[in-house]
Structure 1
Amino acid sequence: MAKDSFLKHKALPNILVFFVGVPDEHKQQSLISKIGKLVDRIYGIDHYVVYAINNDDLACDSRCFSASALLVIHDGSVKNSDNISKLPEIKLPLTRLSPGESDQIDETYFCEQIKNCISKEECKENDENEPLKDSPIYLFDLKRNFHDWTKMNNKTNIIQLHDNQQVETISNDTVIFMEWNRNRLSLANFGIDFDPVLFFNSLQTKLLGHTVLFANKIGTTMDLANRFRHVNGLIAVANYQTKGQGRNANRWLSPKGCAMFTLSLQLPINSPIVEHLPFIQHIVSLSIVLSLPKDKLNIKIKWPNDILFGDSMSKLAGILTQSFFYGEYINLQIGIGINKANRYPSACLDDVIEEYNNCLPPYNECERLKPISREGLIASFLNNFESFINRLVEQPNQLHEIKKLYINNWIHTDSIVNVHSKKSGSVTKVRICGINDNGYLLGQEIDGDSLICLTTEGNRFDLMENLTTINFQS
């Protein structure tokens, strides 16, 4: 793959923010949020990724060498001017901004500085870029039985849409039951950009995905799925999320073209799976990888649950899992975002497939990869995931085999990392050797016999430096 030009181009949509003399994390987060909104207003929603970096990132993070701009936010004091001048040499457009003592910013000043920092050709300021409102919710059910839904004891108003009914007259709180044998043209007239026929024809599950909630725009698919948490195996799909979230309260960009969905799963509290609940996220990531041409595109898992591709190991998918106790069962909500067709602000699956095909010799047509539909990708994931869940329920000893399969598809085999203990400040050199039954990383000390268990909280892998910051337990 011609990674140099391809990945450099795809890395440009990053705008980096470096703070000098602004130690308050709350203030930093507030400023990042406000700058992100200004950038969205100038260049369009989700055209750029805005995020904070620190000194360690400046030294080794590859995004620092191919981003669009670096914004240095300082407190305006003279004593910090030396810190700004000592920044590592980064060949990026750079501007220095000072919000003063508060987290309030002069929007006009910031906008002008940002536009001066980034080429005017890229500026697409649009005052009509209003916040997106949630759109109607459509329901597709494999059984096609509207009467079963009307009998459900919940507060949601569910109606069946007729051909002569206008969508605009329906409240956004209403769920609209749709006959999914309608043709694509008819669905498009209702603003539905999802093909239920293609999806259900690709689905091979006994439970998962038999009920689909679809919305063009929604806050988050997790919130939507939570409204119907009593429906086991339901998935909620959206074209665009206005309040997407990632791990650790990070913002999850949700541009159109990203395959965004949440699976709602009920697990009895006495299920053997519950004993290894943290391992579910690893099964999710494995199910995604097995749904893709992983060998040709070099798609791998970065522990615990990021999906990466290519020699650059750029992020292809992210996963967020939440669990809730309700009586005799646990409701597990699995939120997934796969960069499928969203060519900005990051590389996506369509990009990677296209680049793979372009690098093939002209006579090697049989090796060309076909585009993967969003509906087919989601269905394939559900097929794989249900298969793994059934294996664990029916044969708990299958956990060992699934762990081996997970390890065979990750990037960490025999990696040697420096483990920094936040408690003692000590550094231990460790060789990664596997995961335990809960999915925690296992490392063997290079200079000793101790086996270290690395938890998923507060950890950070840097792929360039093989450096980890870890909470660990012996």
Structure 2
Amino acid sequence: MNVLVYNGPGVSKTSLTHTLNTLRTLLLPNYAVQTITPKSLASDPWHTNCALFVLPGGRDLPYVSDLKSSNDKISKFVHEGGAFLGLCAGAYYACGAVEWEVGTEQEVSGARPLHFFNGIGRGCVYPGFQYESETGARTVSLLIQDPSSGFEERVEGLYYNGGGEFVDAQNVPDTVVLAKYTEGDGEGKVAGVQCRVGRGNAVLWAIHPEYPLTLEPAISAIRSIRPDLDASVEHLEERRWKLMKDSLALLGLHIPSAFDIRTIQPLPQFLVSTSDLAPTIAAMMDNLIKELVDSEPIILKDNTDTFHFYKGPYSSDLFDRIRDSQDSDIFTSDSRIRSIIVLKNGAIPPPEATRAFDLSQYFSSLAAAQSQKMGEVLLYGEVVTSTQTMLDKNSKLLSYLPIPLVSVATHQLAGRGRGSNTWLSPPGCLQFSLLLRLSLSSFPASRLVFIQYLFGLAVVEACRSSPVLGAFGDRIRLKWPNDIYAITAHSGAKKIGGILVNTSFMGGHVDIVVGPFINLKYSASSDANHHYAHIPEGCGLNVFSPSPMTSLVQLIPAGLDNTNLSMERTLAVIMATFDKMWSKFSTEASFDPFMDLYLERWLHSDQLVTLTTVDPPAAVRIVGITPDHGLLRTMPEAKGYRSFRGDEYIDLQPDGNSFDLMAGLIKAKK
């Protein structure tokens, strides 16, 4: 599910930055926190996968003009069970009316459309506000009231700049007072409310609880207005986090149970292998030492990241030292240090070092599945930014890594879906990327498009095997070109994953990064430099993902033993299944041996769809995939109809069309 933060005219960039960082820290990995523009808010079906809509601080008047076409959507979303968080100007906008600086040159007054708080938002509570300035900024003290217990607690040092009060809130229907100002001009006035709105609800704060008290501009306000609080800023900051966490809980969001703001950061990764492939890791380290400075760590500066390789052996002291040295702010820079602990001679770290992924179980499952090579070199990190970006954006690293190599993560903190969409990985999702290499002298580039089909088929066959789902796996199917679906008993076909392929051409070979993905928001993109499908980034096959997502574990009937299903075994069987297919495919450079099974496993044989890329739209029937370039082959349904080229068939490529095959529609991309 998404948490969407409005980013349009009027939004304070400082408020936006702090809002995103605070929400991502609190909600990861349960929710994807991303921005939404006025255009997308008005035209996209954002409400279908949104848990919370956030309107940050800034200026209220631009919201009035730029949200005109979105107000009805926002209101309907909340009334039908959604959640809304308004901060300062965002809270003003959610009132029934605004009375701001009345009688001054800065006056803003009038009705507002949302009426989540069906009363007046009046400000400023404290004088001195100036636009684009911290002149009127200050710290405030609030008396926080717990709605369930009635317990009251005074919280100091919170950042204020131009906020108001919720007039007579205690007498406004469907409104619960959360906090009051305690000092000066604001004493006794309401600073925070929770409002029941139809089946949903809103939490509105007149102050800025999203601003960290340890950073600018809040720290300067503390030192200017309340220097006596300077020594206790760390404690006050912990209380601010609790205030935000409690606000999100009131809105019905599920906060990760292991929440700790100090641990939401990338962790060191482990490079390990079976004993048989241990020489490949030793050779990699020899090359690194030979070509770089032999130090601790060995440092490799690449296109996107800087890699620190530690030569092991594993110790908890080494792990803690690396973790504590890593930059905790993963959202402010595209350039980061990635730390990798390299274990030689087939050694693996103890279970306590990889609590979320049992490496021993993975390698034993791989051996049982009889993989010859695929998956026997593994790079694992419990918390990483993106398995895909590391392999896809760092060409120097690829020249050293053993191939094939599988990169696995339990939690991915940042990634990109199609287009510019940003997401955070959901819980219970198997996330990995596989690095392969082919020589272009023996494998034609035009056949690379089939890799996504081959890998998708391997995932489906692995899920159907006895070590994973067995008899219950017959409901796992393929949706062209790159999705994995499950046929559920009550809801029909539901997406549980998908296939991604990125390629990099270097000299006489091509490096291929392939893996499953789930994109939380789907938007089309195309790349004029590629003649085959190019899909930017993603993650995951849903194995244990909770409802409302669909996952493998949900296909096992209630009451039956599901303890055989595991992340480790699922990945091992996928690797072994793909290993057998890859050996034949890469040797013959042909998808022909797999075509019949692929068509047996997909959802589209003889499917009738509407093709809107021709005028007038035509009914066509899907008959297969072209054997040369992997295009979707359709045949006109009407007698005597031919394509606009005069061909008997109409062949379609994914980089030129948008496919909603589950809805029976093929349309031109916009």
TM-score (norm 2): 0.54
Q: Which moved more, 1:435-444 or 1:67-76?
A: 67-76
In structure 2, C-alpha distance between the alignment counterparts of 1:292 and 1:130, rounded to whole Å: 37
Matching residue of 2:663: 465
Matching residue of 1:239: 410
TM-superposition CA deviations, 1:124-167 (whole Å, max 9, x none):
67996468322212121223346434312455434121558542
1:136 to 1:302, Cα distance in 2 relative to 1, 3 A: same
1:315 to 1:261, Cα distance in 2 relative to 1, 3 A: same
Alignment of 1:53-132 (within 5 A): 64=48, 68=51, 76-77=63-64, 81=68, 84-85=71-72, 91-93=80-82, 116=202, 120=250, 122-123=252-253, 129=261, 132=264
Q: Which runs of 5+ in 2 are unaligned?
A: 94-160, 165-191, 204-247, 293-297, 299-308, 326-337, 517-539, 644-648
Alignment of 1:7-406 (within 5 A): 13=1, 39-40=23-24, 44-49=27-32, 64=48, 68=51, 76-77=63-64, 81=68, 84-85=71-72, 91-93=80-82, 116=202, 120=250, 122-123=252-253, 129=261, 132-142=264-274, 143=276, 144-145=278-279, 147-153=282-288, 155=292, 156=298, 157-162=309-314, 165-170=317-322, 173-177=339-343, 187-191=350-354, 193-203=356-366, 204-225=370-391, 226=394, 227-230=397-400, 231-272=402-443, 274-293=445-464, 296-297=472-473, 298-311=475-488, 312=491, 313-336=493-516, 337-343=540-546, 346-350=549-553, 352-353=554-555, 356-358=556-558, 370-396=563-589, 399-406=591-598
What displacement does 1:265 show?
0.5
| Matching residue's letter, 2:373 | L
In structure 1, C-alpha distance between the alignment counterparts of 2:426 and 2:318, rounded to whole Å: 27
Q: Which has the higher contact order (CA 8 A, sep 6+)?
A: 1
1:108 to 1:341, Cα distance in 2 relative to 1, 3 A: farther
Matching residue of 2:238: none
Matching residue of 2:525: none
1:453 to 1:40, Cα distance in 2 relative to 1, 3 A: same
What displacement does 1:385 show?
1.5
Please provide the CA RMSD for this pair.
4.3
What displacement does 1:289 show?
0.7
Q: Which secondary structure does the structure 2 equivalent of 1:332 belong to?
A: strand
Matching residue of 2:221: none
1:33 to 1:326, Cα distance in 2 relative to 1, 3 A: farther
Judge conservation of contact 2:479–2:485 (CA < 8 Å) in 1: yes
What displacement does 1:70 show?
6.8
Q: Which secondary structure does the structure 1 equivalent of 2:264 belong to?
A: coil
What displacement does 1:41 show?
5.1
What displacement does 1:84 show?
4.5
Q: Which secondary structure does the structure 2 equivalent of 1:248 belong to?
A: coil
1:115 to 1:125, Cα distance in 2 relative to 1, 3 A: farther
In structure 1, C-alpha distance between the alignment counterparts of 2:41 and 2:598, rounded to whole Å: 32
In structure 2, C-alpha distance between the alignment counterparts of 1:95 and 1:121, rounded to whole Å: 8
Percent identical pairs in the alignment equals 22
Judge conservation of contact 1:266–1:331 (CA < 8 Å) in 2: yes
Matching residue of 2:632: 441
Q: Which runs of 5+ in 1 are unaligned?
A: 1-12, 101-105
What displacement does 1:216 show?
1.7
1:403 to 1:167, Cα distance in 2 relative to 1, 3 A: same
Q: Which secondary structure does the structure 1 equivalent of 2:582 belong to?
A: helix
Q: Which has the larger radius of gyration?
A: 2
Q: Which secondary structure does the structure 2 equivalent of 1:334 belong to?
A: strand
1:111 to 1:391, Cα distance in 2 relative to 1, 3 A: farther
Judge conservation of contact 1:140–1:196 (CA < 8 Å) in 2: no
| Matching residue's letter, 2:363 | F
In structure 2, C-alpha distance between the alignment counterparts of 1:79 and 1:405, rounded to whole Å: 52
| Matching residue's letter, 2:455 | V
1:169 to 1:78, Cα distance in 2 relative to 1, 3 A: closer
| Matching residue's letter, 2:565 | I
| Matching residue's letter, 2:549 | S
Judge conservation of contact 1:236–1:263 (CA < 8 Å) in 2: yes
Judge conservation of contact 1:307–1:315 (CA < 8 Å) in 2: yes
Judge conservation of contact 2:372–2:576 (CA < 8 Å) in 1: no
In structure 2, C-alpha distance between the alignment counterparts of 1:262 and 1:376, rounded to whole Å: 16
Matching residue of 1:8: none
Q: Which moved more, 1:451-460 or 1:377-386?
A: 451-460
In structure 2, C-alpha distance between the alignment counterparts of 1:321 and 1:224, rounded to whole Å: 14
| Matching residue's letter, 1:120 | L
Matching residue of 1:6: none
Matching residue of 2:186: none
| Matching residue's letter, 2:270 | Y
In structure 2, C-alpha distance between the alignment counterparts of 1:333 and 1:36, rounded to whole Å: 30
1:271 to 1:378, Cα distance in 2 relative to 1, 3 A: farther
| Matching residue's letter, 1:414 | D
What displacement does 1:277 show?
0.4
| Count of paired positions | 427
What displacement does 1:174 show?
4.3
| Matching residue's letter, 1:412 | H
1:95 to 1:429, Cα distance in 2 relative to 1, 3 A: farther
What displacement does 1:401 show?
3.4
| Matching residue's letter, 2:501 | T
| Matching residue's letter, 2:82 | P
Q: Which moved more, 1:74-83 or 1:277-286?
A: 74-83
Matching residue of 2:618: 428
TM-superposition CA deviations, 1:11-62 (whole Å, max 9, x none):
xx4567999xx7x9xx9xxx999976665456x213235676778865xx9x
Matching residue of 2:145: none
Q: Which moved more, 1:439-448 or 1:145-154?
A: 145-154
Judge conservation of contact 1:32–1:50 (CA < 8 Å) in 2: no
1:39 to 1:402, Cα distance in 2 relative to 1, 3 A: same
